[in-house]
Structure 1
Amino acid sequence: MSEALAVIGIVSSIIQLVDFSSKVVKRLDDLAASVGEVPRAFRHIKTELPLITESLRRIKNQARTGGLDKKTIDAVDLVIKDCQGEIMRLESILDRMVPSAEASKWERRRKALLSLTEDKHVEEIAKSLGRYVQVLTLHLVARPPDVDLQPPPTYGASDPTRNTSFTLIPFDRNAKFVEREYIFKQIDKSFETKEGSQPKAALFGLGGIGKSQIALEYCFRKKEKDPGCSIFWVHAATLARFEETYKRLATECGLANQGDTQVDITQLVQDWLESRHAGRWLMVVDNIDDADVFFREKTGNNKTLSQYIPRSPNGLLLFTTRSRDIAVDLLLQDKPIAVPVFTRPEGASLLRSRLPSEHSDEQVLELLVELEFIPLAITQAAAFMSKRRRTIPQYLDLYKKSDMARLRMLSYEFSDHGRQSAELLSLMAYFDRHAIPSTLLYNEEEDLLDFEDAVAVLVAFSLIDSDESGTSFDMHNLVQLATKRWLISEKGGKEDEWGFKALSSLSLKFPEPQHHPSAEYWSLCASFLPHAQLILAHPFKSPEEKTELARATLLLSMARYLHWRGAWIECGAKTEEAFQIRKRILGEKNQDTLRSLGQLAWANKSLGAKNVELGEECLQLRREVLGENHPETIDCLSDLADSFMLLGEYRKSEAMQRQALEASQRVLGPEHPDTLNCLGGLASVLADIEEYGEAETVARKTIRLKTKVLGENTSIFSDLHNLAYILVLQEKFDEAEEAYRHVLALKEKKYGQSNVETLATLSNLVILLGEKEKFYEIGELTERFEGAMDMVQEDSNPTRRQVTNILKSYSFFGGSGNHSSSSSVDSEE
């Protein structure tokens, strides 16, 4: 009986969803008819919805014929509910975007400009629906859908980075490298491929066997033989480290600016090496030791790391991995290269290069056998003996006592340097082992000289590597694993204690959420992110409340940074987790909990009615706990007004924004930055209700006061942009053009040409110039920004697509074609 009811329920849900989807598709058609070509995200949804409805019809038939069991029905029901939620979210966006039949020309223009503002939210919905299509298709055909391979975009030949040679290697050359010529010959042979094939080679072998050292030496030799060849080194142990390496590569090579937030940097680097870098290049992809991370885990753009590896006959790919299976998967039909342990002469050569010469061949051989001819173990043993002035027999006496003695020697507690080196090593073990910033390790309350002494000891014993400036450290995987084992077995399970210290350091030093990120903010967040992701994944055995609260603080700071990078879904999830932690431990009326709830409402602005509910809950609690006139209560009221504006309830939004403005003027003063933010919000909603005269007055007042109080910085960019937009709506084209040019120059100087904010203003300026038939000036802008738009990938950035279409419409074809899909990112935010 229960299964029969379940079948009836699932069939009913499917029928409702199919009917609802059909209506939404009809509304998308109406949108296209009213504004011309709709943004690509909407076109994706028009593709996804029929696929979902067709899959659901087939599943409905399966259910009716008894082809589904209860477990499958429950799973499909969850997918249907999630689909319905996303489609309802889409419908609320369409409510704000589709003009009525009797709408004026400028009302239609305003709706058209709004389309790009909403595009990022529609992209999220499209991605979600795409995943549901895959899930449903998997159920129907019992295999995952094929990956949709998009052709790479084409680029112009004027790219300044096209013929430049780069050398981006994060390590110095090993002056004591032991010759292994036979491996270099195998690498060269692997690179000899048929014309048109991708030259690649893979080194595999035990951890510490010397794979990375071989790859490093190969890079330097390649550069000596071929100075024009670019060399790139990519860390692939984790998804975060891979993305961070690509970001640094893009910045160093001039492909992107530090503050680019909505550019898919990984895709940008891949496309550059495949089609824009004219010279030869060699890329080392180091430490591909986890098949799930490299081949299956998805980035924020729904691609695996393996899909971001460039392919070009001009390029050489050299992989390193511990796994032979991974090496085979990397090369497919080619044969990987095994890196064996040292031969007796190789091991002796390395050991003698680091020790005094008085040791006999027999003693050297005995030690090499004990260390199993592993290069890293030989290097560490030599460093230990040199530092502690021990002979090989003395070292072996200590080493052979027990397994624990071996671990103690690896993680030796050097008590003669104030802060013990073993403690520093213990802390480092809980960060990502690559590029650990010294700021996460050094406590300002301790003696800097003690910290530097501890670092020097670890470097001397080859337990860590330091960059030239001494501000960043790398830790070998074997050392990290041994240190953790030592903490568990030798120190009575103190792994949680050191895990908490790492978490605490990150939660205190990860930059707090900011409305206008600075260059320092971007730099710090980028360097801290891989370490934050790792410590958040640490399985604390018995997490205390202080651990959970530190975790919540880190989650909130991380979430804001992820939002600026364009990872809005991940931002929302992390903010939600932080809010739930604080609510459970501190209670819903605690001020920190209320701040978390406020950030949650801010992060989920695209959720429409659900977000309004969060904002109303936050406002009610802040009024109760903090009072009506507390600055955070007023700020919450202003944010809630923005949410109602995005929901299309403009009159309600106006009333609330006026209330927030009055309260802020009274409590904080007429020139306080929070008051001026309320003033800017009022200008936006006045434009939405077509009170253009007052909207212009309020916008100009906002700009004047912000400039007086804060200077001409990023805080006024959106206000300047919105003023230009309001002037366009009043057909004050000359004044609007002046305002757009002014803010474009400011954004270009601050953000760079390729930033999404800059391109948003560019698109609106081009629209305006088209209205004024200034086609020659459009051509000049096209030429000026041609390289910048190449940096922003068509498939990853809606603003770039809109700008490209607009420029083609006006400049390339010399006429004012359909340009109504323009937008302003700033105008509604």
Structure 2
Amino acid sequence: MSPSPSLSVPFRRDSDFVNHGMLLDQIHEKCSAPASRVALESQIAIEHCYRTADRSPETRIEQGYRAIAEQVKLGGWDDPQVDVFQLVYNWLRNEKNGKWLQILDNADDAAALSLTVSKDQKIQISGRDGARPRYFSSYLPQCKNGSVLVTSRTRSVALQFVEENDIIVIKPMDNAGAQTLLQKKLGELIDNDGSTYDVSVDSPQAGFARNIMLLALHTRCSVRQYLEQFYKSDREETGLLDYEEGRLQRDDEANNSILMTWQISFDYILHARRSAADLLSLMSFFDRQGIPEALVHTRNNEHSDGDDIFLTLKNYSFISLTTDPALFNMHRLVQLAMRKWLERQGQVERWKQQYIHNLCTNFPTGEHKNWVQRQLLFSHARLALSQRPNPKESLQQWALLLYEAAWYAWAKGNPIDAEKLSKSSMKVRIKLFGKEHEDTLNSVAMVGLATQLAGWWKKFEELEVQMMETSSRVLGREYPNTLTSMANLASTFWNQGRWKETKELEVQVMGMRKRVLGEEHPDTLTSMANLASTYRKFSHTELHG
């Protein structure tokens, strides 16, 4: 039996939404066609989700494949190693499951939309399966019972998913629409002198209007005074726009509006509530989506009125809420502006170290029970790759964090991230501890596992030989890490068709594990199974050449 129709949109509906002319009708027309795909801007897409749900109760809207799998209780949805993309893709293609509408929101970064999925997500340390590259677009089914709606600020990315004539360009809100939005947001706070204002800015619409409202409330600032200050900042503080030129100058007017609004609001927060400014400083280093509340507490704010601080930042549009009250989002330009301010104040290193400390402290170990938490924190840990700190103590935490994140990426069948993270961890640990330290050897082993997962057998063989020799010399030939390296090397020989060398190593590993760990230890049993598999697949003659 197929599940009941449902709606899942991870954003609240904006009751003050102002439609751009006939845009929603245009979107509805395009999305009504079988196997349709449409690209546009985020806030419009959210409104379309709700209006579509009102029109058609059979509609399924989802933004996360795992959330879809959990919601419809697909077989294996709670298995952390299942290929959930393929699982949901197969379900969506089945016309018996009814009509659906899928939203791909904020598809702005082409690199972030590529992924690598292993042939078999259930990969063991000595596993023999390689990996095959896949792209997110391949998991967006084209079938007559479904439609895909893409929101993007980058046209080139949108064209990866839709044809040119399926792109709906959202033009800046005109002054009349902006006036209407402002009146909805401000209500009685609007000036009563009959004045009109030029408020047709390209910043997030509700956020700009909300800043006007909050400053009017907290500083007795009229709408006219706020706008005068806004345009004054635009003239006097244009230096703020000079940084990150390649990223910020894509749409000068829109970005100017966002940054100037940020500057006015932040100046007020900084002087009125320093703890909120500190919290924003820390949050600016995390991935902009899904920032856990538990990760951004520091010694200075952990006993303070934390909920009130988050509410302050939300009210000024520095952060936004998700359907999970413990997770927050930040606009990309707010993060960029915040980090630039920290750079000018000489505080980047301070908050970078705090960010790494919080992540390293909270990133859990690899037990199955911690899988959901690791999944939640991985995007933030991956971002730490570009945030290398300076002090030795913080560098040690950074290397540990990258190692743990690499392990998660490997376990998820993602060799690209696993290799990048583990290589950086290895290089730092070599510098800090030397080549023969146990932590360094662990990072080297992690690099090896990443190359094995990618199917780079020659490179993996070189690493494992080096690892095995060093571990044997430093830790002993029968040390568990040494035996693991030998088992991994045997797996490499197996994948290259070197059957005799495979058998010889597997016999050695099995014998030493029996002696050191006992016959019933899981590692010993794995060695026995590997050797049995080798004998079973190839004849005695082949094994002996």
TMscore range, shorter length: 0.7 to 0.9
Q: Which letter maps to 1:200? A: R
Q: Secondary structure at the match of 1:167?
A: coil
CA distance in 2, matches of 1:292, 1:569: 12
Q: Which letter maps to 1:463? A: F
Superimposed CA distance per residue, residues 240-259 of structure 1 (whole angstroms, 9 cap, x where no aligned partner): xxxxx323332333235455
TM-score, with normalisation over the residues of structure 2? 0.76
Q: Secondary structure at the match of 2:147?
A: strand
State the partner residue of 1:501: 354
The equivalent position to 1:252 in structure 2, one of 51, 71, 74, is 71
The equivalent position to 2:162 in structure 1, one of 331, 346, 354, is 331
Superimposed CA distance per residue, residues 345-400 of structure 1 (whole angstroms, 9 cap, x where no aligned partner): 32222222232525336676335257889554223332333344422233235434
Q: Secondary structure at the match of 1:432?
A: coil
CA change 1:656–1:269 in 2 (3 A) is: closer
State the partner residue of 2:363: 510
Q: Secondary structure at the match of 1:310?
A: coil
**Residue 230 of structure 1: how far off its partner (Å):** 1.1
CA change 1:639–1:180 in 2 (3 A) is: same
CA distance in 1, matches of 2:363, 2:204: 42
Matched, 1:366 2:211: no
Matched, 1:524 2:373: yes
State the partner residue of 1:438: 293
Matched, 1:394 2:225: yes
Matches for 1:479-490 after TM superposition, within 5 Å:
479-489=334-344
State the partner residue of 1:270: 89
State the partner residue of 1:199: 36
**Residue 577 of structure 1: how far off its partner (Å):** 3.3
CA change 1:334–1:612 in 2 (3 A) is: same
The equivalent position to 1:475 in structure 2, one of 312, 330, 345, is 330
CA distance in 1, matches of 2:435, 2:204: 59
CA change 1:412–1:305 in 2 (3 A) is: farther
Q: Give the conservation status (yes or no) of the 8 Å contact 1:440–1:505.
A: yes
Matches for 1:109-258 after TM superposition, within 5 Å:
160=1, 162=2, 164-180=4-20, 182-191=22-31, 193=33, 197-203=34-40, 211-232=41-62, 234=63, 245-255=64-74, 257=76
Matches for 1:780-795 after TM superposition, within 5 Å:
none
Matched, 1:634 2:479: yes
CA distance in 2, matches of 1:560, 1:525: 10
CA change 1:509–1:180 in 2 (3 A) is: same
State the partner residue of 2:319: 464
**Residue 169 of structure 1: how far off its partner (Å):** 0.8
Matched, 1:535 2:384: yes
Between 1 and 2, higher relative CO (CA 8 Å, sep ≥ 6) is seen in 1
Q: Secondary structure at the match of 1:528?
A: helix
Superimposed CA distance per residue, residues 480-535 of structure 1 (whole angstroms, 9 cap, x where no aligned partner): 3332343344x24x4454344333322332223x3xx323x111111112222223
Find the structure with the greater CA-based Rg. 1
Q: Secondary structure at the match of 1:229?
A: coil
CA distance in 2, matches of 1:475, 1:312: 34
Q: Give the conservation status (yes or no) of the 8 Å contact 2:506–2:530.
A: no
State the partner residue of 1:349: 180
**Residue 411 of structure 1: how far off its partner (Å):** 2.6
Matched, 1:377 2:208: yes
Q: Secondary structure at the match of 1:360?
A: coil
CA change 1:562–1:678 in 2 (3 A) is: farther
Superimposed CA distance per residue, residues 314-338 of structure 1 (whole angstroms, 9 cap, x where no aligned partner): 2222222224555566432525323
**Residue 598 of structure 1: how far off its partner (Å):** 5.2
State the partner residue of 1:554: 401
The equivalent position to 1:571 in structure 2, one of 388, 408, 418, is 418
Q: Which letter maps to 2:168? A: I
Q: Secondary structure at the match of 1:465?
A: strand
**Residue 459 of structure 1: how far off its partner (Å):** 1.3
CA distance in 1, matches of 2:168, 2:419: 44
The equivalent position to 1:447 in structure 2, one of 302, 327, 337, is 302
Q: Secondary structure at the match of 2:11?
A: coil
CA distance in 2, matches of 1:309, 1:567: 19
State the partner residue of 1:733: none
Q: Give the conservation status (yes or no) of the 8 Å contact 2:513–2:524.
A: no
Q: Give the conservation status (yes or no) of the 8 Å contact 1:387–1:460.
A: no
CA distance in 2, matches of 1:578, 1:363: 63
CA change 1:385–1:575 in 2 (3 A) is: same
CA change 1:461–1:577 in 2 (3 A) is: closer
Q: Secondary structure at the match of 1:184?
A: helix
CA distance in 2, matches of 1:267, 1:550: 35
State the partner residue of 1:816: none
State the partner residue of 1:422: 277
State the partner residue of 1:593: 440
**Residue 583 of structure 1: how far off its partner (Å):** 0.7
Q: Secondary structure at the match of 2:14?
A: coil
Q: Which letter maps to 1:550? A: Q
State the partner residue of 1:775: none
The number of residues matched between the two structures is 486
Normalized per residue, the structure richer in helix is 1
Superimposed CA distance per residue, residues 23-77 of structure 1 (whole angstroms, 9 cap, x where no aligned partner): xxxxxxxxxxxxxxxxxxxxxxxxxxxxxxxxxxxxxxxxxxxxxxxxxxxxxxx
Superimposed CA distance per residue, residues 681-730 of structure 1 (whole angstroms, 9 cap, x where no aligned partner): 4455567778xxxxxxxxxxxxxxxxxxxxxxxxxxxxxxxxxx9xxx9x
* Structure 2, unpaired ranges of 5+: 118-131, 238-259, 494-500, 539-545
CA distance in 2, matches of 1:644, 1:341: 59
CA distance in 1, matches of 2:58, 2:449: 49
Superimposed CA distance per residue, residues 250-277 of structure 1 (whole angstroms, 9 cap, x where no aligned partner): 2333235455355432233223212355
**Residue 312 of structure 1: how far off its partner (Å):** 1.7
CA distance in 2, matches of 1:251, 1:351: 40
Q: Which letter maps to 1:511? A: P
CA distance in 2, matches of 1:372, 1:475: 14
* Structure 1, unpaired ranges of 5+: 1-159, 204-210, 235-244, 665-674, 691-724, 730-819, 823-829
Q: Give the conservation status (yes or no) of the 8 Å contact 2:487–2:509.
A: no
The equivalent position to 2:140 in structure 1, one of 282, 301, 309, is 309
Q: Give the conservation status (yes or no) of the 8 Å contact 1:503–1:550.
A: yes
TM-score, with normalisation over the residues of structure 1? 0.52
Superimposed CA distance per residue, residues 1-43 of structure 1 (whole angstroms, 9 cap, x where no aligned partner): xxxxxxxxxxxxxxxxxxxxxxxxxxxxxxxxxxxxxxxxxxx
Q: Give the conservation status (yes or no) of the 8 Å contact 1:284–1:318.
A: yes
Q: Secondary structure at the match of 1:414?
A: helix
CA change 1:387–1:248 in 2 (3 A) is: farther
Superimposed CA distance per residue, residues 603-645 of structure 1 (whole angstroms, 9 cap, x where no aligned partner): 677745752441231231235xxxx9xxxx7323443563476
**Residue 309 of structure 1: how far off its partner (Å):** 2.0
CA change 1:258–1:443 in 2 (3 A) is: farther
CA change 1:226–1:679 in 2 (3 A) is: closer
Superimposed CA distance per residue, residues 719-770 of structure 1 (whole angstroms, 9 cap, x where no aligned partner): xxxxxx9xxx9xxxxxxxxxxxxxxxxxxxxxxxxxxxxxxxxxxxxxxxxx
CA distance in 1, matches of 2:166, 2:91: 28
CA change 1:337–1:362 in 2 (3 A) is: farther
State the partner residue of 2:255: none
Q: Give the conservation status (yes or no) of the 8 Å contact 1:427–1:498.
A: yes
Q: Give the conservation status (yes or no) of the 8 Å contact 1:173–1:220.
A: yes
**Residue 457 of structure 1: how far off its partner (Å):** 0.4
Q: Which letter maps to 1:530? A: S
